[in-house]
Structures are given as C-alpha cells and as structure tokens.
Structure 1
Amino acid sequence: MTAIRTIYLCNHSHTDIGFTDYQDVAFRQHADFIRGALDLIEATDAYPEGARYSWTCETTGPLLRYLRSASAEEIRRFQHWHRAGRIDVAAMNYNLTPLLNVEQMHRSLYPLRALRDEFGLTVESAMQDDVNGVSWLFADLLAELGVWFYTAAINPIRGARPKPFPGAFWWEGPSGGKVLAWNGYHYLFGRSQAGIGNFDLVDRLLPRWVHGLEADASYPYDFLYCEATHPVRVDNGPPDRRMADFVRRWNEEDRPWRMEFKTVTEFGRLLRDRHQGAIGTQRGDWTDHWTDGPGSSAYETGVNRQAHEVLGAAEALEAWLRATGRDRYDAARAAHDYEQAILYDEHTWGAYSSVEAPDSLFTRAQWNRKASYAYTAVMEGHDRLARAARDLARPLGTPGPEGIFNLGDLQPEEAFKPSGIADVLVINTLPWPRAVIVEEPEPRGGAAPDGMLDCFFNRGSGWGGARPIPPVNRVAGQVPAMGYAFLPLADAPGDADLKAGPHSIENAHYRIEIDPASGGIAILLDKDLGHDFAGRYEGWRPGDYIYETVDSPKGRDAIASFDFSNPDFFTGFRDTPWRRSGATSVEIGQATIANGRASITATIRAAGVAAARVTYALDTGTKAVHVDWLIDKLAHEAPEAVFVAFPFNLGAPRFMLDLNGIPAVPNDDQLDGAAKDWYPLQRWVDVSDGARGVTLVPLDAPLVHLGGITTGKWARTLEPEGPTIMSWALNNHWMVNFKASQDGRIPLRYRLTTHAGDVDPVAAARFAAEASMPPVVMRDIAPTGAREGSFFAVDPDAPVLVTAKPGEEAGFIALRVQNLKAGATRARLRFATPPKEARRADALEHPGEAIAVTGTEIAVDLAPLAVDTVLLRFGDA
C-alpha cells in the first residue's frame, strides 16, 4: 500500500460538438473558453506554485478554428503561455468513434501540421474523454508523430474500462508503436465526484477515493490524478476561477494532501520519469462500447460510410492528375471535406434531450446539423470525384456531339439520345486489376462528363425532369490496376452460367434457394467446394429480418439502469425480456435473368416496418452473393432493434474482422475491457472453421454481433455460440444523445463470398474494397488514343492495400501503404512513368529518408500490420 501525497488536477473543457448546445454554438464557446483560460492564467500568475492556474485544450478541432480566426496579438498571447507550460494542447482532433477509416484517422491528426509548423506549438500528449475506447492504430500513429502520452477518461455507462484502473500501461499498436497510456477516472471526476473546488463537499467526498487507492495493493502510485471540468457545465464548460482560489486555500490549510494543477503533458512526464518500473505493456484494440449508438441513425451512418469511399476515390484520381501535371487538388477543400466526415464520426450524436424530448426544436436542430456533416461530406466527395474523372477523361477522348456541353440548351428528347459512341470509359481506383460488370450510364447528349456520375445515383429518380428511361444495360470487361479502360457497349455480360427456378437462382459458383416461410436463404451451395453454407441460428436463416423489442414497461431501464451513485454510473442487466420476431408473411417473386444477373426478391410483412423486401442476386461468373434489403421503417420510440441474420453451416468458429482498418481476431487483438458484445466493422468480417469460411461485407450497417445475439451479455470476453454473424442494423437503446427513433426507407446491403481454408485477410480486404468502391463509369467519350492505361499497380502477391492522395507539399503525391499480414513484408509498386523522387514520410507527410527508384518501381519494407506513408514526385518542380 502506498500513501497518497499529492492530488494532481488537469483542468479542461470536455469537447462535445453538440449535446449541450447547437454544434456551431459549441465551436464558438470553445473559442471563448480559450480566451477565458488565458485570462485566468494571467490573473493567477502570482499565486503560489501549484495553485497557478493551467489549462489543457482537450482537442485540436476547436483550437485550430480559434487560432485561424484569432488576431496576431491573441496568437502571441497563446504562444507565450504555451511556452511557459500553462496552456497545453492535446493531439486528438475530437473525441472520436471507431467509425473512422484509416485515411480519416491520419487526417484527424493533420491539425498537428498547422499547430506545430505554422503556430510553433509543442504537442506531446493526447486525450480521449467520455468515449469508451479508440482504435489501436492511434497507438502507432501517435508514437510515430512524437505524441508519447495518451490519457483516457472513460465514461463507463453502457461500457467498461480496461485494467489497471486507475493506472498506466504502455499501449502497443498493431505494428509495435507504443504510447504511455493513463486509464483514469471519468473526466468530470475532480469536481463532480470528488468535490474538488467546493469546500462544502470536498471533505465528505474526497477521502473515500484517496483511502480507496491507498488500500489498493495493485495501485503503486503516491498521487491521485483527476481531470476536472466545470461543475455546472461538465460538457462544453468554461474555466472556473474558483478552482485556482480553492487550490491556493487548500494548500495554505493543514490538509493531508497537497494539490497541484498539472497539464496533461506535465502529468505524463511525471508518470514516465518517476514510475517507469511500475508500468507494464498491453497490446490490442481499445474497442469502443459506445459504437452501438450510430445504429440509431442507420441511413445517415450508411451515407457517411459512402463518403469515406467516395472521398478516397476522388483523391486517388486527384493524385493521378497531379502526377501527370494536371494538378487540381485544393488542400483547403480537402481538409473541409474530411472534417465533415470526421464530425459525423465524432462521438457527440445529438442533444442531451434527444430521447426525453425527441420533437423539441433543440433536439431536431442538433440532429439536422449532425446529419448535415454526412450529407455534406458525401456530396462534396461526389463533386470532387466527378470533376477529377472529367479531367482525367479529357485527353483520353472526344466528348460526343461537338459543342454540346450544357444540358439546359437541349430539349429533353435531344439531351438523352445516344451519342453513337460505342464505348464506356471505366476507371478503377483500386491498385489491382478488376474484372467488372458495370451499368451503362444514361446517354446525355455528349455532356455526361460534366454531370454527376451515374454509377452513384438511381437511374430512375427523374432528376432533371421527366424523360424516357431505357432498360438498364450492363457492360463487362477488365480494367487495369489504378487505371482506365474503354469497354465496348456491345460487350454485355453473358448469362450461360445463370439459372433461375422456383425460389432459386444459380451461377457458376453458387446455387441459392430461398425459404418461402422466412425469405431467408435455405440453401447456399458453393459448387466449387461442394458445401452448403446456409446455417441456422435460433431458427433464423442467412438474410432473415429479425425485429426486437423489450417486453417490459421499464423500457430502456430494463436493458441498463443509469445510477450516478454507482462508480460505473450504470448496471447492465442480463435478464432483459427481449421479444424477437421475423417475417409474418412472405411473397417470393419470380426469379429473373437479365444483363448478366440472376436475381430473386422476397417481400415480407413484419413488425417494425411498413414494408420490406430483400433481393438476392448472383452475377455471371462472379463469386459473390448480393443481399440487398430495403426496409420502410416505422418510427418507434421505445427500445427496439433490427438484425439481419447470417448463420453459416460451419464447425467451431474462428472470427477475424476489419477492426478500425486492421485485420484483428476478437479477444486476442483487444484489450481486456474493450467491447466484445458488438463490433464496428470498417469493411469486412470473416468466420471460418479452418476448412472453409465466409467473408461478409456490410456496406451500410457497420455493427455486428459475433457468434449470435450478444446484447445484454456485458461480456469482457467473447464466447461465441456458433458460426453466426448478426448484422445489428438498427437500434435506439441509448437514453441520451442518440436518436429516439428512425423511420423511412433504409437500405441494408451486404456482399458475401465463401472460401476454402482459414481466413486470408488480404483476399477478404480486396473483396471488401471492390464491394465498397464501384468503378467510375462514363459514356459519350470517343477514345482518341490508348484504350486503356494505368497510374500504378501493387505487386499482386504483396499482402498490402495502397491508397493515394495529392501530397500536402506541392508536386508530391502521398501513398498509404498498409501491410495486412502479421509478418514483415516488402511491397513493390510499379508506375506508368518513373518517379523522379521517392521518400518515406511520417503520417503527416513530413519527408524522411529516400527510397530507391529502380526504373518505374519502388519497394517499401513494412513492419507487421504497419501503415506507412510514402511521398513521390513525378514532375520537375
């Protein structure tokens, strides 16, 4: 047992973009908080040491907005007190969910470029408050960027904390990067639980916490460290002058413990320098329990997942254009677009009153603003992709009828006539060749390159006014890696391997039979493996719709009770009376074959929806099953959930999933205390029994339960019931912040493929990438040169993913090269033209050591599961 000598206070404002106030108001408030903190720092500069006020800016998003709008004098003032150690800067952009993809995680740290390079600030620490975890890729990224200390102040409601708690460990990321992590008390602990700052409370509240630590044989430290926010505004709260006066008076009195203000970085140095011998190492993903909340807004969550893909594709083409001397990259616009996508994936979903007053102006206004982040990101991404595709296409061919570029100049019957051009231009934004089957875009009188790209929109929408909609034709062909090809319109996909029968469809690889009682898959026969993969779980089949409610007048309180006198603030119940049901009636349509696709649709009646239908489809020669639900959801403010079941006929299950962009095995690659009841997927999850398996890609709904329905288990270890993946498509189980209900038409699209042997994360990742990012398709362009071309390609045997963006430095492009295997590898990349220069770089694109260029090729050595940044220059600049 160790006697507590000192109480260290880290004063800050917890950053919620929303919750207590409209989102734009919250941003303005945080600027005011910085000004108020500087006032208080100056006002207490003559106080005794330890009582001099200090402040930590918890996140960089509001800080950078403040600095960008501040006067020169305000900036100098901030810099002065920052150098004096009185105002600290933590490195995380916001308090984030694990919905961010790998590129978003990098971009969330780009404010450090500006804070360090432009404003001269020193950033060595990071904070993530409230949220129950963060991707372990951040352990690698932060360590690479010189941010060596990380603190978590978890709000354990509906979640759990890792151990030691409170305590420290070296947190190791997937590729071996390490940060010193402090797993501490709730961010409001200092003021709201320990009473620090209030002499009427502190003597009653503080001693139990101190004595508890002193009696804990596993706690080796002689201090209590606590974050402290405003006692009235624990979220988005201002600095509190009473804190400095309280600490000064406390230290002047005869008290058993001294108090001192510490910034997060000062505390990290103290921990590192004095207590190295007491700190062990833990490796694994800090999977966030709160990622269940985004299931409360399934449509918009799906939209933002599309934004991730579209922004990546747009930047890949913009990088290609820069490499060929046609730079169109707007760094400020790109930063804005990623900021919008990140703000949707930021942890604050809406107003604190979202469930108790769902129809109030306050609640509706905040949800409108939150949703707008997703819509803005995806539509800005579409515009950038369309413009980049148009610029890429311009030198490749001639647009249709000469002089026709403005649809407004044409009569409807003229605007949508075929141009007579016999090809479509297909662009592949992935770094390996693709066999594609694409829809023929609508004829637009030669102006298609100047419009939105058809491949992302509903052809039958009627946008632009009424017009005849021709039958949808499809084109098949091969497109080079990160390249383009003109495919003849005449090359329609064949259908010789396709069959359609009563309740069944087939192609060369699969035979699927639909259960007329449920609408799910009764038979999923892999012809190559001779195995029927369709399993059952609780009577449900693959593709079945399941609706869940709580059979109790307590509603949400029957799932978890919220008790702020409990150290964990809640109790999760394991006896919740769930009520689950499937389809009450099923109507199966006639199976059809058209344009290289066999499909069959089941329309169901079921609880929770006004209508719902699922279409199963197989493309010719393609080893992929399409499962596309469209549910017309009814609003329901009592707790509910929608699942889509995927039980498989396999032996003892082994799961692997794309967890925050990293191939990970549940339990093995997670911290103890990380979420095990549900998992957020980036793109894919795989279940196998060693002999065979299935890779599932949910395009819209990221949440899954593994092994069966696991809601209400509150488990620290995943113990799967069987080889089942349950897509947890919708839920509204939270009592604050997240939406009380959702309604309207919501797509839930899935792609799956089967395989022999154990999971191959490279094959799974590539299958998921192709499912998630369709090729870009354009028409009315007559080729005038090469019918195909490529920007770059990755060695087909290399276990890597590669994405591209224009570099932040003029003339460079940046590649993210990701090793998907748990062993070191060398990735070889070949380019159409020889790079003039290649360099390694840090995650923020600061250049490092040179990489040899051999002809048109470079080789990048990668640590296990590493994501490295490479800069290349092709021009003479």
Structure 2
Amino acid sequence: YRANDVILYGTHVENVTLEPRQAAFVDEWNRTYAYPRLQFGGFAEALGTITQQQGELPVVRGDGGPYWEDGLAANARVTARIRENSRRLPSAEKLATLARQLNPRFRVDQSELDGAWERSRLMDEHTWHADCSVRDPESDQARRQGEDKDARASEAQRAIERLLQRCLSAIADVSPAGPGSVLIFNPLSWERTGVMELDIGRGQGLVDVGTGQVIPLEVLRVGRVYQKVRFLALDVPALGYRALRLRPLPTSPRAEPLDDPAVLESPFYRVALDSKRGAIRSLIDRQTGRELVDTNNAYALGQWLYVTGGDELPSRLVQYSTVSPIPALTVHAAELGRLVRSGRTGFGVVALLESETFGGSSIQTEVMLPAQRKEVRLTLRVRKAASLEKEAAYVAFPWALPQPRFRFATQNGWVDPAGDMLPGACLEWFTVQDWVGVEGGSQSVVMAPLDAPLVTFGDIVRGTWPTAFGQRPSTIFSYVMSNYTPEGYAASQGGEFVFRYVLTSSADWSAGEAARFGAEALTPLEANEITRSDKLNATANSGDSGRYSGLRVTPKEVQVVAWKPAEDGRGAIVRLLETAGRNGEAQVAFPGQQLRRAFRCTAVEDDLNPLDLIEGMVRVAVPAYGIVTLRCELSESERP
C-alpha cells in the first residue's frame, strides 16, 4: 500500500443519535496532533486521492452475501407476508396503469399507493424488534416495537388488496363482460397459465367466455354461501386480463382414486410418496428419465426438519467468532406420518400427507402435479409451539445431481455461491429472490420458495463460518425458522405457518427460463368477480372473447418489472429487465392504443433522449441483465 491516505469510517454504532461534537472533531484533532491529519470527505473524493497516490488499484468483484438477513427466519409468518407484498405491490401499480388506459375517468388513490410503498420499505428495514427482544422478550419495549413493526406488513397487505380490487373494478366497468363474470389479471409481460384459488358461489362453476368450455375445478372448501375452488387459468394475456363466466353447474366430483395411492403421475413427472416421513421418496423427470431425488439421503424431498441445540454460550451459532465452540445440534426429522388421501382432480393429481416432529409439531404436506405444466407444487402447513430455547427449522430438498453447481436469483441476475462471492462473504446461508437452482450431470432443477427466502447448500447452519464454499452435496435446505439472531428479532414464534414451493426441471439450465419460472411462481394472478352492483345497467355478457393485453414486450427474455403512472403525470413509466444474459433489443407496443412518443429516462424518471417510433412500437437496446427505464406517452385521448 503506497498511498499516504486511508479511509477511516465507523464513528458510531447503528440506530443512535448523531453526536454534535463529531462536527468539530476533525478541527480539534488537527489542532492537537501533528500526525495523522484528518479530513472529512466522501468516498468518491477519498478514493480519487488514494488512486492518484497509489497508482493502479486492485479490483475485486463479487457478491457480498448475507449476514443479518438470517433474522428473517425469526418471524416466518411476517416474512412470508412481506415477500408476497413485494410482488403484489408492483402488480397493483401495473393494474392501476391498465385501468387508466382502459377507463380514462379512473384515478388511482395515490396516497394509498404511496402509503403501501412506505410501509413496505419500513418493514424491510434491517431490524424488526427492540435491542432487548431476545434478552427480555416479555418487556414492553420488546412487545411494542415488535407489534408496531409487524403491523406495517399487514397494513401494507390490506392497502394492496384495496388497490387491486379498485383497479379491477374500474376495468370491469368498461369491460364487455357483464355481471356473473370473473376477470383474471396477469401482471407479467408474457401470456401465462397458472394455478388459482378463488371463492365462487356455492353450486356455481366457471366457463370459458370464448369457447364455452367448462373449467375443471377442484373444490377445497364448501360453505353455506361460497365454495373455494382451485383451477388452472389458461393463457391469460400479457399485462392484461381474460374473463370467465359463472354458471350454475353440478358440484365438481371428488378426486378420482389412483391405482396406487402413493404414486402421483403427470405427463411430466412420476412421484412416489414416503408416507412415514410425510414427504417425497422419488421424483422422476419423465422427459429426461432421470431420478431427481437422492434416495440414499437421510432425508426425503420436502421433509420437515426441526433442529435443537446451541443454547450454551458462547457459541458460534449466535455470533460470529473464530474461537467460540461450534455447538452440538440435533436434527429431528418429521416422522410418524401417514397418507391422508390422494386422487386425480380435473387438472392434475394431488396428495395430502401428515407427519409429526419433536415437541409435538404437526405438519400437513400437500403435493400437487398440474397436468398441463411441468412443475411440482409443495405446500407445508405447520403447527408448532413457541419456544425460547434455540431452535431452527428447514425443509429438505436432497437432489441426486453429481458435482452440483448452485445458482440463486438476485434482483437483476443470479449468483454462483462457489465462485461469485467476495472474500469474507457469509457462505453458510443465502437469501434468494425468485428462485434457487442446482445443475449437475446434464440435469437441472429450479425451485421457487414462495414464502421463505433463506436457503443453505449441502448442510444446515451449524455455525462453522466456512471461508471457502468448496464442493458440497447437492441438497438444498429451505431455512424457514430460527431464533439464533441475538437481538433485534423475535425470540420465539409459534402457531400456524405455511411454506410453499414450486419445482421444475430440465436437461439444461437457462437463465431466462429460470427467471420466468420464478416470476410466475411468486407473482400471483389476480381475480375479481363482477357483480350486479358493479354494472347495474348490464344484463348479460357480450359476445366478446373476454381477452385483452395492455402492453406487449418482445423478446421473451425481457421482462416488464414496472409499469406505472409517471411521477410528473407525463405518460407511463415502463421498466425493462433483461434476464438471459445477452445484449439485445426490446420492442414495446400498446395493442389498440396510439403511442405518441417515448423517451429513455433514468430510474428517477428524468428524460435522457427521445426514441424513434416504428409502426407504433418503440425499440430500445437492453444490455445483458440490464435495467432500462422508458417514458411512454399515448395519444391525448388515450393517455394513461
């Protein structure tokens, strides 16, 4: 190190008031001491000076990895809620823009939208509870701060629900669909098919408006007025909607029994259940012929694991240390299981298993294979008692892939933890965005954890703090619960929890396909029933096909991650993300609308340069894994 200057930072700890004397500290120091001389400055100024003194500086690139993020597992229920909010809030913005495009009289409640964003940002702030939350969890400080923090997630959720329903109602007001219809909105920028759950009137069914075909339903619950049904919504247009019609229909039949109740089959997969462990024993990809599950592993696929130990301090489990002892942990795998039921529904096969684990926790595991999608859907419903003793919980995914290469999604790309981490990064647990995957032996598996963003690779968290990723087994553990964090998060959690996963596989891994799969898994289709109160003057549905797309983007590797009213009121903002890792060009079009002009702009919506319009479309260069922001203005009569 040849430079004369160094950067000194870290004058106080987090979450404390600024000390006024700090402002005068540099002058006081320099009056008192001849060496070293201190100077206030920003990073750009400091690094510029150091570069001049040092000459060429080494460059280190990589991902910093997580650390404090393991606190997310201390409040799994709230984590699941904010994870869902983070996807549905952009959906509300997109739906508001579509509603304005179709219904010029509509104005979104901007204060409610801004409030939902504000509460979501405050919820994501790095600590969730008082500094004494673990040392004194029954104190008023711990209780009040925890309740206030948790409420932000539920308040944002309620605001998002209101925004979505108001926007869907505005679209319904101008849609050709009449009372007795259900509008299904797709917030993603490509046509998609997805599993939906919906309340409809008891004794009713759903019919495709365009074809008149009855939609196969699975009845999940029957009440006195409503029944909850599950179905496959087919081919919902990009950033648009399609309409289904409600009709009095016979109650959907119960699931047909299977030849072997413990074996589920779809055109894409064959699943063998392990009833004793409440999980999956075998999963065969029927397109590649490969067994995906490591059948010699100690755990089954989707098996619940409860971990005890680590209470004796000091311990590396609760605080980073190179000298504290590594704790002795005990893994209690779910057992005493049974197959409750299985059968074939109108759109796939489904099974329900039950199991138990240490401390009396009960687990219900649903396994579903849709007939028209290459995916396996797992849902674990867990009931457990709260405990102040150190604990953690995982869901095991033991894959049978040799020499595995792991990847997981970041905000605009992906990370290989074996090669992309900075020196000193945490290598024991990781936070994923939409998906996590593993590849090996000409086989790839991608998994979308809907509710729990933490994962570990090869083993559970043991407090070893490895300095190199190394070669690990191909098992992925979904790290769903823990109270290891020593402060700032809940000391215990109990009650009912839901953890959902969607899995798929292929011979080859594709960044673009993984990104689309993850986006579909985490971004739900939204629905709204049109009632007679919504459209008093309407008597029946028109002959319209019931399909509409408000915005289309090609190629498919480019996603629309935001479509929102511009902050200054000039048009709409379209934010694009390239997901395949290739430089290219995107085409943006508004079907049925007249695009007047378009600008490339900054992320904070400052115009950079106008873009040429070609045949009513705008074309723009998009770099690999890059984010590009556009301002699009429609004609005066149709401007959003």
Same fold? TM cut 0.5: yes
Alignment counterpart, residue 467 of structure 2, candidates 716, 724, 739 = 716
* 1:254-653 equivalent positions in 2, closer than 5 A: 255-260=34-39, 262-264=40-42, 267-268=45-46, 271=49, 274-275=52-53, 277-324=55-102, 325-397=104-176, 399-400=178-179, 421=180, 423-443=181-201, 467-470=224-227, 472=229, 474=231, 476-488=233-245, 499=258, 501-536=260-295, 538-550=297-309, 554=312, 557-560=314-317, 570-571=321-322, 573=324, 575-653=326-404
Q: Counterparts of 1:809 and 1:493 in 2: how far apart (Å)?
A: 50
Query: Any conservation in 2 of the 1:474–1:493 contact (CA below 8 Å)?
Result: no
TM-score in terms of structure 2 length: 0.88
Separation of aligned partners in 1, 2:202 and 2:569: 36
Please tell me whether the aligned partners of residues 432 and 796 of structure 1 are also in contact (alpha carbons under 8 angstroms).
no
Amino acid at match of 2:515: A
Name the CA distance, whole Å, in 1 between partners of 2:325 and 2:560: 41
Write the distance in 1 (CA, Å) between the matches of 2:269 and 2:29.
Answer: 74
Q: For 1:665 and 1:494, how far apart are their aligned partners in 2?
A: 47
AA in 2 matched with 1:483: G
Q: CA offset at residue 333 of structure 1?
A: 3.4
1:764 is matched by which residue type in structure 2? A
Q: Residue 281 of structure 1 aligns to a residue in which SS?
A: coil
1:460 & 1:524 partners in 2: Cα distance?
25
Deviation at 1:645, TM superposition (A): 0.4
Answer 1 or 2: higher relative contact order, Cα 8 Å, separation at least 6: 2
Q: 2:241·2:548 contact (CA, 8 Å) conserved in 1? A: yes
For residues 445 and 648 of structure 1, the distance between their equivalents in structure 2, rounded to whole angstroms, comes to 43
Task: Check 1:828–1:494 CA distance in 2 against 1; reply closer, same or farther (3 A cut).
Answer: farther
Q: Once the 2 structures are TM-superposed, how far is the Cα of residue 715 of structure 1 from its aligned partner?
A: 2.1
* Structure richer in helix, relative to its length: 1
Code of the residue aligned with 2:262 in structure 1: it is H
Structure 1 residue 288: Cα displacement? 2.5
Does the 8 Å contact 1:678/1:711 carry over to 2?
A: no
Residue 11 of structure 2, aligned match among 228, 247, 252:
228
Count matched residues: 610
CA contact (8 A) 2:451 2:500 kept: yes
Post-superposition offset of 1:237: 3.1
User: What's the secondary structure of 2:341's corresponding residue?
Assistant: coil
Q: Distance in 2 between matches of 1:364 and 1:817?
A: 42
Amino acid at match of 1:429: P
How far apart in 2 are the matches of 1:745 and 1:572? 38
Q: Secondary structure at the match of 1:836?
A: strand
Q: For structure 1, which runs of at least 5 residues remain unmatched after alignment?
A: 1-217, 401-420, 447-458, 563-568
2:502 aligned partner: 751
Task: Give CA deviations for 1:190-234 in whole Å, capped at 9, x if unaligned.
Answer: xxxxxxxxxxxxxxxxxxxxxxxxxxxx474434523323xxxx4
Q: Is the 8 A contact 1:676 1:715 kept in 2?
A: yes
Structure 1 residues 686-725: aligned runs within 5 Å: 686-689=437-440, 691-725=442-476
Amino acid at match of 1:480: P
CA separation of 1:720/1:350 partners in 2, compared to 1, >3 Å: closer, same or farther? farther
Whether 1:762 aligns to 2:512 is yes
Confirm or deny: 8 A CA contact 1:323 1:813 kept in the other structure.
Answer: no
CA 1:840/1:241 → structure 2, altered by over 3 Å: closer, same or farther? closer
**Is contact 1:826–1:862 with CA below 8 Å preserved after alignment?**
yes
Between 381-390 and 802-811, the greater mean CA deviation after superposition: 802-811
Q: What is the CA distance between 1:796 and its match in structure 2?
A: 4.7
Deviations 1:327-367 (A, max 9, x none): 52344433321121111111122111010001111001111
Tell me the CA shift for residue 831 of structure 1: 1.9
Q: CA deviation at 1:861?
A: 0.9
Equivalent AA in structure 2 for residue 726 of structure 1: F
Aligned partners of 1:628 and 1:749 also within 8 Å = yes
Q: 2:417 aligns with which of 646, 663, 666?
A: 666
How far residue 713 of structure 1 moved from its aligned partner, in angstroms, is: 2.9
Conservation of the 8 A alpha-carbon contact between 2:278 and 2:335: no
Shift of 1:603: 0.9
Corresponding position: 1:734 with 2:485: yes
Alpha-carbon contact 1:497-1:620 (below 8 Å) kept: no
Report the Cα distance in structure 2 between the residues aligned to 1:590 and 1:254, rounded to whole angstroms: 79
Q: Distance in 2 between matches of 1:763 and 1:379?
A: 32
Distance of 1:498 and 1:668 partners within structure 2: 48
Match of 1:874 in 2: 634
Do the aligned partners of 1:537 and 1:647 also contact (CA within 8 Å) in 2? no
* Number of the residue aligned with 2:618: 858
Alignment partner of 1:389: what SS? helix
- How far off is 1:651 after superposition? 1.7
Letter in 1 for 2:303: D
CA contact (8 A) 2:220 2:227 kept: no
Distance 1:836 1:745 in 2: 52
The whole-number CA distance in structure 1 between the counterparts of 2:510 and 2:108 is: 36
Match of 2:586 among 804, 808, 827: 827
Distance 1:255 1:661 in 2: 48
Task: State the TM-score, normalizing by the size of structure 1.
Answer: 0.65
Cα distance change of structure 1 residues 747 and 537 upon mapping to structure 2, 3 Å threshold:
farther
- Output the amino acid matched with 1:745: E
Letter in 2 for 1:778: N
The separation in 2 between residues aligned to 1:743 and 1:826, in whole angstroms, is: 50
The alignment partner of 1:656 has SS state of strand
CA distance in 2 between partners of 1:271 and 1:333 (Å):
46
Structure 1 or 2: more strand by fraction: 2
Residues 632-655 of structure 1, C-alpha deviation per residue, up to 9 Å, x if partnerless? 121111211101001112221111
Gaps of 5+ in 2: 205-218, 532-539
Cα separation, 1, equivalents of 2:523 and 2:182 = 18
Shift of 1:254: 5.2
* Matching residue's letter, 1:829: V
Which secondary structure does the structure 2 equivalent of 1:641 belong to?
A: strand
Q: What's the secondary structure of 1:589's corresponding residue?
A: strand
Q: Is the 8 A contact 2:108 2:167 kept in 1?
A: no
The alpha carbon displacement at 1:797 in A equals 4.3
Q: Distance in 2 between matches of 1:689 and 1:393?
A: 48
Asked whether the equivalents of residues 318 and 484 of structure 2 are also in contact (C-alpha less than 8 Å), the reply is no
Show CA shifts across 1:239-288 (max 9, x none).
4344456655543335433334x143685476467446253323222222
Which of structures 1 and 2 has the bigger CA Rg? Answer: 1
| C-alpha distance in structure 1 between counterparts of 2:461 and 2:530, whole Å | 51
Cα deviation, residue 303, structure 1:
0.1
Relative distance call for 1:442 and 1:718 in structure 2 (3 A) is same
Q: For residues 690 and 258 of structure 1, do their structure 2 counterparts lie closer, same or farther at Cα, with a shift above 3 Å needed?
A: same
Q: Is the 8 A contact 1:654 1:690 kept in 2?
A: no
Matched, 1:808 2:567: yes
Helix, strand or coil at the partner of 1:258: coil
SS in 2 for 1:470: strand
Give CA deviations for 1:550-609 in whole Å, capped at 9, x if unaligned: 1x6515x323475xxxxxx74475732111111231121121223423211111110145
What is the CA RMSD across the aligned residues, in angstroms?
Answer: 3.0
Q: Which amino acid aligns with 1:771?
A: A
1:146 maps to which residue? none
Q: Is the CA contact 1:614–1:629 (under 8 Å) kept in the aligned structure 2?
A: yes
Match of residue 216 from structure 2: none
- Tell whether the 8 Å contact from 2:306 to 2:394 is kept in structure 1 after alignment: yes
Distance of aligned partners of 1:244 and 1:476 in 2 relative to their CA distance in 1, 3 Å threshold: closer
Measured in 2, the distance between the counterparts of 1:755 and 1:244 equals 59
For residues 830-849 of structure 1, the aligned pairs below 5 Å read: 830-832=589-591, 833-849=593-609
Question: Per-residue deviation at 1:238?
Answer: 3.3
Report the Cα distance in structure 2 between the residues aligned to 1:472 and 1:335, rounded to whole angstroms: 33
Shift of 1:308: 0.9
